[in-house]
């Protein structure tokens, strides 16, 4: 049974930039690298023309569905997120015109959060002063680890010194918020070296830290779309790396984060994210709240509150359609029942430190799983609001076990 949930106009927009200098062997993002990303055979020019067309076409659809920008039902975007790939490879003048185009077609609130992902390598980080001038307010830096040997083992191009230089350049450019992405459970990296890397990252005083365990997909086509097959060399690398990961060491690292980051002034607000006050990612919070987020670019995923839609991850297919003035191919799916929607909402809400209102979750039929979670130490009352329930540290470690009982 459904209650007829209605599509909503987007509050955020995700724009995918699929170019990287080189391909990291663990990466599952939609990326083209090497000659396709840089130099005389770069596909950047064709991509930029196509993405402008997609912005225009998607905005036209919004106008038809929800009314034109400025009408009662069509508020300007609160967030824009340029992710990749390596969006810091975009030429600064084209970045500025892309943001202007989005402001013109979708609107951006005066205090909109505009995030750009940047890599720290000297030939990857771009002109950060120009990026800030183009309207980016938040820089998300792909640090991964502050350890030269571990970076090299991951196939990354940058060094810890490059990270220091990138953060200094970002501070000088005046971004309102700086975030770093770090990895945990790295193959062969002893706990002490990983903890020292965390300290080196904290010493640079980012406003926000995302820390994800390295996940290595070993089988083909796990993403379920038409992205390029993982190169054989990367598959072999992943098999070796997976054997050198250590679940217990990974758990120890999460426990360490739980004490080290609050001591340094960071609050955990989502299962893998910590921020100083006021620096939580507004864009990612839209996803965790199941809000409507539009998306453009190859492989980009959108949600309108009812339907999930995704673009072809194949750059040729995506670009070819847009060259013809058509929307790119892709797919869509809907969660049909209220029960499935409620379950997805509960899982996403439990990822966040504010957790869920216990009575509301009980009314939706989740009393049994909540009781199981509490009995097994995965859930506990929220320390500052007893009417809410949140994941414990153990719950964050074993969240998949809990979530698989909900959905
Ligand atoms: S830089 Fe990031 S997006 Fe690019 S290949 Fe490496 S992990 Fe993937």
Ligand 1 centroid, distance to 27 Cα (angstroms):
6
Q: 211 pairs with which residues across the strands? A: 182
If asked whether residues 354 and 228 sit together in one domain, one would say no
Contact present, 145 and 186 (Cβ < 8 Å): yes
Residues 98 and 195 in one domain: yes
Name the pLDDT band for 338 (thresholds 50, 70, 90): confident
Q: In a mutational test of the pocket of ligand 1, which residue from 27, 33, 180 has the highest number of ligand atoms less than 8 Å from its CB?
A: 27
Nearest atom, ligand 1, residue 23 CA:
5
129-176 pLDDT, tens digit each: 999 999 999 999 999 999 999 999 999 999 999 999 999 999 999 999
19, 26, 37, 86: which to mutate for ligand 1, most atoms within 8 A of CB?
86
Beta pairing, strands 379-382 & 385-391? antiparallel
Q: Residues 297-316, buried b or exposed e (16+ Cβ, 10 A)?
A: bbbbbbbbbeeebbbbbbbe
Mean pLDDT of 178-196: 97
Query: Do 232 and 375 fall into the same domain?
Result: no
Tokens of 244: 């050198």
Looking up residue 360, the CATH number of its domain turns out to be: 1.10.10
Domain count for the chain: 2
**Does residue 269 sit in the same domain as residue 154?**
yes
Same domain, 234 and 360: no
* CATH code of 270's domain: 3.30.750.200
| Ligand 1 cavity residues, CB under 6 Å | 20, 23-24, 27, 29, 31, 84-86, 119, 142
Instruction: List Cβ neighbours of 334 (8 Å cut-off, separation of 6 or more).
Output: 306, 307, 308
Cα dist from 72 to 75, 305, 324, whole Å: 7, 18, 33
Is residue 344 domain-shared with residue 283, that is, in the same domain?
A: no
Domain shared by 406 and 282, yes or no: no
Q: Is residue 168 situated within a structural domain?
A: yes
In this structure, the answer to whether residues 284 and 351 fall within a common structural domain is no
Share of the chain above pLDDT 70, in %: 97
Tell me, yes or no, whether 118 lies in a domain. Answer: yes
Does 264 reside within a domain?
yes
Q: Which atom of ligand 1 is nearest to the CA of 33?
A: 5
Residues 103, 250, single domain; the answer is: yes
Last residue of a domain, one of 288, 315, 349: 288
Q: Specify whether 348 is located in the same domain as 283.
A: no
Helices assigned H by DSSP within 143-293 = 148-153, 160-173, 191-203, 232-243, 247-263, 282-288
Q: Which atom of ligand 1 is nearest to the CA of 27?
A: 8
Whether residue 239 is found in the same domain as residue 372: no
- 75 alpha carbon to ligand 1 midpoint, in Å? 33
Report yes or no on 120 lying in a domain: yes
pLDDT-derived band at 4, boundaries 50, 70, 90:
low
* 4 lies in some domain: no
Domain that holds residue 387: 337-407
- Is residue 387 domain-resident? yes
Could you read off the pLDDT of 355-377 as tens digits, one per residue? 999 999 999 999 999 999 999 99
Pair (341, 246) in one structural domain = no
343 has a pLDDT exceeding 70: yes
């Amino acid at each position: 049974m459904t209650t007829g949930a209605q599509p909503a106009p987007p509050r955020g927009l995700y724009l995918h930039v699929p170019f990287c200098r080189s391909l990291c062997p663990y990466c599952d993002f939609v990326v083209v690298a090497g000659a396709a990303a840089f130099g005389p055979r770069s596909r950047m020019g064709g991509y930029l023309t196509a993405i402008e067309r997609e912005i225009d076409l998607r905005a036209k659809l919004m106008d038809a569905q929800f009314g034109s920008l400025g009408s009662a039902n069509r508020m300007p975007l609160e967030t824009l997120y340029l992710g990749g790939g390596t969006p810091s490879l975009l030429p600064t003048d084209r970045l500025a015109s892309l943001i202007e185009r989005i402001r013109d077609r979708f609107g951006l609130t005066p205090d909109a959060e505009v995030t750009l992902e940047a890599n720290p390598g000297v030939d990857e980080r771009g002109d950060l002063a120009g990026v800030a001038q183009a309207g980016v307010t938040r820089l998300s830096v792909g640090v991964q680890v502050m350890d030269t040997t571990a970076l090299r083992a991951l196939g990354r191009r940058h060094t810890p010194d490059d990270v220091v230089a990138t953060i200094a350049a970002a501070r000088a450019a005046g971004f309102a918020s700086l975030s770093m992405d770090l990895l945990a459970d790295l193959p062969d990296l002893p706990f002490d070296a990983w903890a020292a890397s965390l300290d080196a990252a904290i010493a640079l005083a980012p406003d926000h830290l995302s820390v994800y365990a390295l996940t290595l997909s070993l089988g083909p086509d796990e993403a379920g779309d038409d992205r390029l097959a993982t190169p054989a060399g990367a598959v072999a690398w992943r098999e070796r790396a997976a054997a050198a990961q250590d679940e217990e060491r990974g758990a120890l690292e999460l426990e360490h984060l739980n004490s080290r980051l609050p001591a340094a002034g960071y609050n955990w607000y989502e299962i893998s994210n910590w921020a100083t006050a006021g620096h939580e990612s507004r864009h990612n919070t839209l996803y965790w709240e199941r809000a409507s987020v539009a998306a453009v670019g190859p492989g980009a995923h959108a949600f309108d509150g009812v339907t999930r839609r995704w673009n072809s991850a194949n750059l040729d297919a995506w670009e070819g359609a847009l060259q013809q003035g058509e929307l790119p191919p892709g797919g869509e799916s809907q969660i049909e029942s209220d029960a499935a929607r409620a379950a997805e909402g509960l899982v996403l809400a439990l990822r966040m430190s504010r957790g869920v209102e216990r009575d509301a979750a009980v009314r939706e039929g989740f009393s049994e799983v909540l009781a199981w979670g509490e009995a097994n130490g995965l859930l506990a009352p929220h320390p500052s609001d007893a009417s809410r329930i949140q994941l414990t540290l153990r719950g964050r470690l074993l969240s998949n076990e809990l979530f698989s009982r909900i959905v």
